[in-house]
Amino acid sequence: MANRILDVKNLKIDFHTYAGEVKAIRDVSFHLDEGETLAIVGESGSGKSVTTRSIIGLLAKNSQIMGGQILFHGKDLLKISEKEWQQIRGNQIAMIFQDPMTSLDPTMKIGQQIAEPLIKHKGASKKEAWAKALEMMKAVGISNAEERINQYPHQFSGGMRQRIVIAIALICEPEILLADEPTTALDVTVQAEILDLMKDLQKRVKTSIIFITHDLGVVAGMADRVNVMYAGEFLEKGTVDEIFYNPQHPYTWGLINSMPTLTSEKLESIPGTPPDLLDPPKGDPFAPRNKYAMKIDAQMKPPFFKVSETHQAATWLLHPDAPKVTPPDEIVRRWEHYKELQAADED
């Protein structure tokens, strides 16, 4: 049985605004096992980044945790002091942010920024820390590391800066790495290189990753499990194969339909906009945008229905009494392709 290192239970987070209380995270639960990659996917504003920032204690000042637990090796991170956070943050739990330029200090040499966590958390001498920083720069694929260790962030390209941010995050060999849209600002070629680098370093450092993205295409080659997030809550959870080949929630269908493929002639968009979380809907939050929605979707929030031991979705379409609907053609095609692959493996 996998060793569970993180367990988030019934997390609720509000934001205080001039307009009122925004229910940003609404009763979210999930877990992370040792050595695995969990992807959290969804549109912008769905609550992905807020969820991960709560795990590392970096929520905005106008936020308030209204309930729940974040258990790291059984210890509730919501109850620890800032001094305890300083021992954990960057050491046992580290984070890669979306924009590397705003994550780096423009006045400090790169070597100093990579070495600093070792000096602070591990008590390494400056000489030891710089030697390790040089080693890590080479590990993340920065050429001429001996020369470039004394350069500043503005002297690196966007892809190289992201490699530096990854080096800083992994220098202390954290148990959990939170990656918040780490490749969004990069072109496709550099994006693929960074993802390969993260997977390679994950094996070496044996860290667990929570990968935040709106791009399901990135998730396919990166994640072990996927949680689909919308309007501050999860609508579907499963292994990467289950979410890609046998999705059950209409929102997941919409996300997959909006992915470009080699055969797609046009991109399908999801009509409508997410709900106003100042006044969250009482039923399925996706109902107003869901052409398969039933009357009950607007009246009552659906529970999670079990699809398999590892797959569950919160949609009334899975209720035994619900009418049978045919998913979009792309979803049906993926499921048929998956069954063909499974049959070929059995042969």
pLDDT value at 1 more than 60? no
Average of pLDDT values for 183-188? 76
Looking at 87-91, 183-187, 219-223, which range is the least confident one? 183-187
Output the CA–CA distances (angstroms, integers) from residue 49 to 96, 179, 210, 291, 335, in the order listed: 11, 9, 11, 28, 30
218 band by pLDDT with thresholds 50, 70 and 90: confident
Q: Does 8 have pLDDT greater than 70? A: yes
Residues 183-206 have a mean pLDDT of 83
- pTM score, two decimals? 0.93
Q: Note the pLDDT tens digit of each residue in 230-253.
A: 999 999 999 999 999 999 999 999
Percent of the chain with pLDDT over 90: 75
Judged against a pLDDT cut of 90, whether residue 128 lies above it is answered with: yes
pLDDT of residue 342: 81
Tokens read off for 340: 């063909």
For residues 82 and 1, which has the higher predicted lDDT (pLDDT)?
82
Q: What is the DSSP string of 75-131?
A: EEGGG--HHHHHHHBTTTEEEE-S-HHHHS-TTS-HHHHHHHHHHHHH---HHHHHH
User: In the predicted model, is pLDDT for residue 188 greater than 90?
Assistant: no
| Strand-by-strand arrangement of the 305-308 sheet | 93-96, 176-180, 208-213, 37-41, 225-230, 233-239, 311-313, 305-308
Kindly report, residue by residue over 242-283, the tens digit of the pLDDT: 999 999 999 999 999 888 766 656 677 899 999 999 999 999
Q: How confident is the model at residue 347 (pLDDT cuts 50, 70, 90)?
A: low
Q: Would you report the helix, strand and coil content of the chain in percent, each value rounded to 5? A: 40, 25, 40
When the pLDDT of each residue in the chain is averaged and rounded to a whole number, the result is 92
Residue 14 φ then ψ, to 5°: -110, 155
